[in-house]
Amino acid sequence: MSEKTNEVAILAGGCFWCIEAVFLDVAGVSAAQSGYIGGHLDAPSYERVCDGDTGHAEAVRIEFDPAVIGYSDLLDIFFAIHDPTTPNRQGNDVGTQYRSAIFTTSPEQDAIARAKIEQLALEGEFDAPIVTEVEPAGTFWPAEPYHDNYFARNGRQPYCQFVVAPKVAKFRKAFAGRRKGG
């Protein structure tokens, strides 16, 4: 009998509170950690990343069991819950830290991500070209602890009500069979 081996996906699609809240609800996901990746500053802070000059994206490091959910399935959810056609922007969140990006941890993930983008483009899934970046993962810097499970702890805040909650609701409706306990 072999031990269960989790894999890691790192996705950036705007504010990490949204991405984390959705993926914490996905069956097969054992952890979703908000953080920063893709920049030039070691150990960046939220304040520095929000300045928009560190090159980091707000991202989520997702640990998942590929026997329960595949990487391609994670990408289906990712593309359904954010707008991959707006460069450096998600709604009112503007800046390079809010870019759409997939940070791959293996050549297989890179191939799957590029094929998924090509498939979505061929299917005309979006009204504009997909601008999601695909690049090898560098160092992932975990965000400050107050970002952990942010939506569950702060769901009544206006930003959570108007930005995070609709993305969580969209996921729950479109992917009901992929929810934990679902």
Tell me the pLDDT tens digit for each residue of 63-83.
Answer: 999 999 999 999 999 999 999
∠57-60-66 over CA atoms, to 5°?
A: 135
Q: What is the model's pLDDT at position 3?
A: 59
DSSP assignment string, 131-143:
--EEEE----EEP
Q: What is the model's pLDDT at position 5?
A: 87
pTM of the complete model: 0.94
Catalytic residue numbers, as ranges: 15
Burial class of 160 by CB neighbour count within 10 A (0 to 12, 13 to 18, 19+):
buried
Work out the average pLDDT over 21-40.
Answer: 97
Q: What is the model's pLDDT at position 181?
A: 83
